[in-house]
């Protein structure tokens, strides 16, 4: 918090965030955060260290709420603006949220419960309250600053506790390898309420740069238009963002003279796509990055100069972080040996909110166990192979989703295959979704391929062709939704059927 206020003082009149034609300076954001802090301190329901839910779209209100909560000594609990009602209620109850800060559109969209201590407050117009001027807090290394919930893409969402020191260490490490300058303009497509988007927000604001937000970037070419119109110098996206840009935009043809670099994280982008993005976006540099919410965001990155020779690598550890590939006893493995990727550094979380047991399993002797299986080559470059819990047992045979996905995608160029397990009565079965723009593909054709080339237990029981990849609030593949889709389909239990 103090680091942001220091930058805000130095860059007072410089735009911190741009929304369409509206510009908000660092002075504006700092002043608005002061008003939010004074408001919170005037509330009888708020106490120092209390959890405050922040539900807002990317914009000046989010920044004011985020830094205002920290200024008041509260703990930020970001709420994605499209959170399901049942999950919202669980988060509010689990974190014992004292106050909800939101904007009218988001509050209406979420149907935030009113009444009592948790009645939503209009973030765009908080009453300043009748308390003295708020002084910047002196925050210790272990002071809880944020509870950031995981996307749930690998299981039940967990509340990751991050300190002010975690946030600062993550931002400072990233700015040592990403060429972020104080006059840069980043097109901020990723939600600030998630780890990757929060990292983009923090790194740019702590550098004195500018975040650019557009109201709607639903179509891939509108992203390129926004990059050009705002003279954006950088862009960050998840794998699905780049799949969309590669398939449906003029990336590589549209002039982007100001764009200096792009980044990808939030999941694995296939080597073929990595190479294509790097080629089509040149001379802008393409950074492949790896991390987890439990590490505040970032753990490794691949130098753009190594993309052509190692497109399947996540690179090496970011500055200040140690990475190792270890066996189940924690012993470091040699080059080429498969083991769990573990990380140690100042960006590793304090733990999971309300779950000391899982915390003790995930962080042991200061090492974060990522749950990712990886190898390292003789030159120190890391390669993530799969998740430890990705193996699916069907009819007594263990199957890795990637095995089926790669086989099917290879036979249908330009398509993307997604495999998820689902339950049918007492058995586990496989569902296969092929994402393709082609209207000629049929589930029958896909299933016949699987029957010809795969052992029977690995043949999906449910097959469906989709026109686009369903995404969750983190802009990752909505695998939970795909599981529900298979389980609720009338065709889900018909073994060997043609769809």
pLDDT digit string, tens, across residues 220-247: 899 999 999 999 999 999 998 998 899 8
Top pLDDT among 486 and 160 is at 160
Helix ranges (H only) for 334-442 are 356-362, 401-411
pLDDT of 117 reads 46
pLDDT of 423 reads 87
Residue 58, pLDDT above cutoff 50: yes
pLDDT of 442 reads 87
Sign of CA pseudo-dihedral 277, 196, 287, 376: negative
Residue 128, pLDDT above cutoff 60: no
Top pLDDT among 352 and 415 is at 352
Short-list 63, 360, 348, CA closest to 188: 63
pTM: 0.84
pLDDT of 140 reads 52
pLDDT of 493 reads 55
Residue 429, pLDDT above cutoff 60: yes
pLDDT by residue (tens digit) across 316-356?
A: 999 999 999 999 989 999 999 999 999 999 999 999 999 99
Residue 378, pLDDT above cutoff 70: yes
pLDDT by residue (tens digit) across 478-493?
A: 888 899 999 888 765 5
pLDDT of 135 reads 59
Q: What would the mean pLDDT of 158-182 be, rounded to a whole number?
A: 96
Instruction: Please state whether beta strands 416-424 and 427-435 pair in parallel, antiparallel, or not at all (unpaired).
Output: antiparallel
Which residues fall within 8 angstroms of residue 263, CB to CB, at 6 or more apart? 178, 234, 235, 236, 237, 286, 287, 288, 289
Measured distance CA(52)–CA(76) in Å, rounded: 5
pLDDT by residue (tens digit) across 84-103?
A: 888 888 899 999 999 999 99
Of the candidate ranges 59-73, 128-142, 352-366, the one whose mean pLDDT is the lowest: 128-142
CB-count exposure of residue 55 (10 Å: 0-12, 13-18, 19+): buried
Contact in structure between 95 and 206 (CB atoms under 8 Å): no
pLDDT of 425 reads 75
pLDDT of 492 reads 57
Residue 472, pLDDT above cutoff 90: no
Top pLDDT among 133 and 403 is at 403
Contact in structure between 475 and 238 (CB atoms under 8 Å): yes
pLDDT band at 138 (very low <50, low <70, confident <90, very high): low
pLDDT of 223 reads 93
Helices (runs of H) and strands (runs of E) counted in the chain: 14, 26
Q: What would the mean pLDDT of 365-377 be, rounded to a whole number?
A: 96
Q: Which domains are delineated in the chain? A: 2-138 (3.40.50.980), 167-387 (3.40.50.12780), 392-488 (3.30.300.30)
pLDDT of 498 reads 34
pLDDT of 276 reads 96
DSSP single-letter state for residue 117: G
């Amino acid at each position: 918090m103090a680091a942001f206020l220091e930058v805000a003082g130095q860059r007072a009149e410089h735009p911190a965030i741009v929304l369409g034609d509206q510009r908000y300076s660092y002075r504006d954001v700092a002043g608005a955060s002061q008003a939010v802090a004074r408001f919170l301190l005037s509330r009888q329901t708020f106490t120092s260290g209390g959890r405050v839910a922040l539900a807002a779209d990317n914009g000046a209100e989010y920044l004011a709420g985020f830094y205002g909560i920290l200024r008041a000594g509260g703990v930020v609990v970001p709420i994605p603006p499209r959170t399901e009602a049942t999950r919202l209620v669980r988060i509010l109850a689990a974190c014992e949220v004292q106050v909800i800060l939101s904007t009218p559109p988001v509050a209406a969209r979420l149907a935030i419960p009113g009444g009592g201590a948790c009645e939503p407050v209009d973030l765009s117009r908080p009453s300043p309250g009748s308390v003295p001027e708020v002084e910047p807090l002196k925050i210790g290394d272990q002071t809880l600053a944020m509870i950031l919930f995981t996307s749930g893409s690998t299981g039940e969402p967990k509340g990751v506790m991050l300190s002010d020191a975690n946030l600062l260490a993550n931002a400072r490490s990233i700015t040592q390898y990403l060429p972020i300058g104080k006059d840069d303009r980043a097109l901020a497509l990723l939600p600030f309420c998630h780890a990757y988007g929060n990292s983009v927000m923090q790194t740019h604001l702590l550098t004195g740069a500018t975040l650019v937000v557009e109201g709607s970037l639903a179509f891939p070419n509108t992203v390129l238009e926004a990059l050009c119109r705002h003279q954006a110098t950088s862009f960050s996206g998840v794998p699905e963002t780049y799949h969309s840009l590669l398939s449906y935009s003029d990336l590589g043809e549209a002039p982007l003279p100001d764009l200096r670099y792009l980044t990808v994280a939030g999941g694995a982008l296939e080597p073929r796509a990595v190479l294509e993005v790097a080629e089509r976006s040149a001379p802008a540099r393409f950074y492949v990055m790896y991390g987890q919410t439990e590490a505040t965001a970032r753990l490794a990155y691949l130098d753009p100069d190594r993309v052509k020779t190692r497109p399947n690598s996540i690179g090496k550890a970011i500055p200040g972080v140690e990475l190792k590939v270890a066996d189940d006893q924690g012993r470091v493995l040699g080059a080429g040996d498969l083991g769990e990727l573990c990380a140690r550094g100042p960006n590793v979380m304090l733990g999971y909110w309300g779950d000391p047991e899982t915390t003790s399993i995930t962080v042991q002797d200061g090492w974060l166990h990522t749950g990712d299986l990886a190898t390292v080559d003789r030159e120190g470059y890391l390669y993530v192979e799969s998740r430890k819990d990705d193996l699916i047992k069907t009819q007594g045979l263990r199957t890795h989703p990637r095995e089926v996905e790669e086989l099917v995608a290879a036979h249908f160029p330009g398509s993307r295959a997604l495999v998820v397990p689902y339950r049918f009565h007492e058995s586990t079965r496989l569902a296969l979704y092929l994402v393709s723009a082609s209207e000629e593909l049929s589930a029958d054709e896909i299933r016949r391929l699987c029957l010809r080339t795969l052992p029977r237990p690995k043949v999906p029981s449910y097959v469906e062709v989709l026109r686009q990849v369903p995404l969750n609030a983190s802009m990752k593949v909505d695998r939970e939704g795909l599981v529900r889709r298979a389980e609720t389909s009338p065709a889900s239990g018909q073994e060997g059927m043609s769809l």
